[in-house]
């Protein structure tokens, strides 16, 4: 395999590009932002070409990387979101407090995600996991609030320390950091498996932001720079899904815990710890939906919807059958596209109007018709309405819940879907419909290079809703 087209090359290229972006931004802000565009798009293209190298292992300065099927899926999805959002960086340099630092950390965060998803051992995974945390923590204060960064780091530190404890404990018992080997050993030992499930699982649920670890999510998403909110919602929180997938599927948890025990005289169809994740997911759907309905801020509303959608993902991964896991992966993909598109539409509105307060907006469909269409497609997908990709994923998850007789969980999921009609269409009417404010009479559509990524995300959302097999086959 050509070392120039490999996982270490992608990571090294992104890190070197981050330094270059920092230096060039000091001289010319737009030129530095252009580096983030070229680096993100270039890394996406290389990772897409690496599809044929799945299963290969590469080493780089004592760090081992292995490109697995699921690692390639998460990496490609993350690169797609970063690449699309990077176009907005070109227009945001004057609005960010430290543009050079932002461009540097933007690419460092991206390198961190690729390293975490392709790590062969737990030490490399933890190093890059922390890279994501620290890069994000320093980017969030470039927006509206430093307090949001503190809240984010407090929750992230809890998850990271939990993961670190689990890694060191498992090393002391197995003598290895190799992810595949350690999880295989854990699957055959109840104590090892329980420690792995709790410690790595905690890191996952904190990162994805489900109840009761959701408090950081609206704070961070609502106050981060407008160009980084879609990265948090559409991209980085999916790292939590990756961690949960490790313990439920790669280990897997059904081998660790007996699945043929009873509760209140009734035989359970999955291990009790998996049920705990399902319950947390169901509660997250309800809490996220109710909180989203109450929001007045455009961005915080979408952030709370991410809490609800994280619940769907956790339920699918915890139920551990082919339909539910396929639905969870499809939902991670669909929600990444839709939430990123919705946040970018919000960023386009902020770019032209200077506010995310819905009470101050209205009638923008007449001035920003393309942005309106992009947001409309995104919210239709997030609400699970055909023919968008969000409908496919939610339908698969509903089918799995019903087949397993999980009526109450299905009811919570159904409530979330019905509630999503209320909260996703409210900004549509408040921001784009109604009376145009006199102060927005001269507002224009978003610039062309901001329209490009929004259109790409919208077309992908629609295309994979009409032709879902093109994404379901790689997932399966």
Low-confidence ranges of the chain (pLDDT < 70): 1-4, 143-144, 259-267, 356
pLDDT confidence of residue 260: 57
56-80 tens-digit pLDDT: 888 888 888 999 999 999 999 999 9
Place of tokens 């509903």: 398
DSSP single-letter state for residue 179: H
406-452 tens-digit pLDDT: 888 999 998 988 888 777 777 778 888 878 777 777 888 888 999 99
What is the C-alpha separation between 27 and 18, in angstroms, rounded?
A: 15
Answer whether 253's CB lies under 8 Å from 325's CB.
no
pLDDT confidence of residue 339: 87
What is the C-alpha separation between 219 and 336, in angstroms, rounded?
A: 19
Element (H, E) at 348: helix 322-353
pLDDT confidence of residue 262: 63
Report residue 248: phi and psi, to 5°. Answer: -90, -30
Mean per-residue pLDDT of the chain? 88
Answer whether 91's CB lies under 8 Å from 454's CB.
no
Q: How far is CA 438 from CA 359, 365, 372, 428, 442, in A?
A: 14, 14, 19, 19, 9
Cα dihedral 79/350/357/363 (nearest 10): -110
pLDDT confidence of residue 3: 53
Q: How far is CA 48 from CA 44, 45, 62, 245, 386, in A?
A: 6, 5, 25, 22, 28
Q: How far is CA 39 from CA 60, 258, 273, 405, in A?
A: 20, 47, 41, 47
CA 119, 121, 123, 129 dihedral sign is positive
What is the C-alpha separation between 383 and 45, in angstroms, rounded?
A: 31
SS3 (DSSP) at 259: coil
260-294 tens-digit pLDDT: 556 666 667 788 888 899 999 999 999 999 998 88
What is the C-alpha separation between 415 and 398, in angstroms, rounded?
A: 12
Cα dihedral 322/324/330/333 (nearest 10): -120
pLDDT confidence of residue 1: 46
């Amino acid at each position: 395999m050509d070392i120039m087209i490999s996982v270490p090359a992608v990571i090294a290229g992104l890190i070197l590009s981050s330094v270059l972006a920092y230096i060039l931004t000091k001289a010319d802000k737009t030129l530095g932002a252009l580096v983030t565009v070229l680096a993100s798009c270039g890394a996406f293209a290389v990772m897409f070409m690496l599809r044929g190298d799945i299963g290969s292992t590469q080493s780089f300065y004592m760090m081992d990387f292995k490109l697995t099927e699921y690692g390639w899926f998460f990496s490609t999805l993350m690169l797609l979101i970063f690449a699309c959002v990077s176009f907005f960086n070109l227009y945001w340099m004057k609005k960010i407090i430290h543009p050079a630092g932002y461009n540097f950390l933007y690419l460092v965060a991206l390198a961190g995600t690729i390293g975490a998803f392709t790590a062969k051992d737990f030490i490399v995974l933890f190093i890059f996991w922390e890279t994501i945390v620290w890069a994000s923590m320093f980017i969030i204060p470039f927006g509206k609030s430093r307090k949001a960064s503190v809240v984010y780091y407090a929750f992230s530190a809890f998850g990271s320390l939990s993961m670190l404890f689990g890694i060191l404990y498992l090393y002391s018992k197995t003598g290895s950091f190799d992810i595949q080997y350690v999880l295989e050993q854990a699957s055959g030992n109840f104590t090892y498996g329980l420690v792995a499930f709790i410690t790595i699982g905690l890191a996952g649920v904190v990162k994805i932001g489900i109840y009761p670890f959701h408090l950081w999510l609206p704070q961070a998403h609502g106050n981060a720079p407008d160009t980084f909110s879609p990265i948090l919602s559409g991209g980085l929180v999916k790292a939590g899904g990756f961690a949960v997938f490790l313990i439920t599927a790669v280990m897997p948890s059904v081998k660790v815990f007996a699945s043929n025990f009873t509760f209140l005289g009734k035989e359970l169809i999955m291990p009790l710890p998996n049920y705990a994740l399902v319950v947390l997911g169901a509660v997250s759907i309800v809490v996220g939906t109710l909180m989203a309905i109450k929001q007045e801020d455009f961005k915080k509303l979408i952030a709370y919807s991410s809490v609800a959608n994280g619940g769907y993902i956790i339920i699918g991964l915890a139920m551990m059958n082919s339909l539910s896991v396929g639905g969870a992966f499809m939902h991670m993909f669909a929600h990444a596209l839709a939430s990123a598109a919705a946040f970018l539409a919000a960023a386009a509105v902020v770019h032209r109007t200077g506010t995310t307060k819905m009470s101050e907006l209205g009638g923008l469909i007449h001035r920003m018709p393309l942005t309106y269409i992009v947001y409309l497609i995104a919210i239709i997908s997030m609400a699970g309405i055909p023919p968008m990709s969000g409908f496919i994923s939610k339908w698969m998850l509903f089918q799995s819940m019903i087949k397993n007789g999980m009526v109450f969980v299905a009811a919570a999921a159904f409530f979330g879907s019905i509630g999503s009609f209320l909260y996703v269409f409210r900004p549509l009417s408040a921001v784009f419909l109604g009376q145009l404010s006199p102060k927005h009479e001269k507002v224009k559509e978003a610039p062309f290079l901001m329209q490009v990524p929004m259109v790409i995300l919208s077309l992908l959302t629609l295309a994979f809703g009409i032709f879902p097999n093109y994404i379901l086959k790689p997932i399966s």
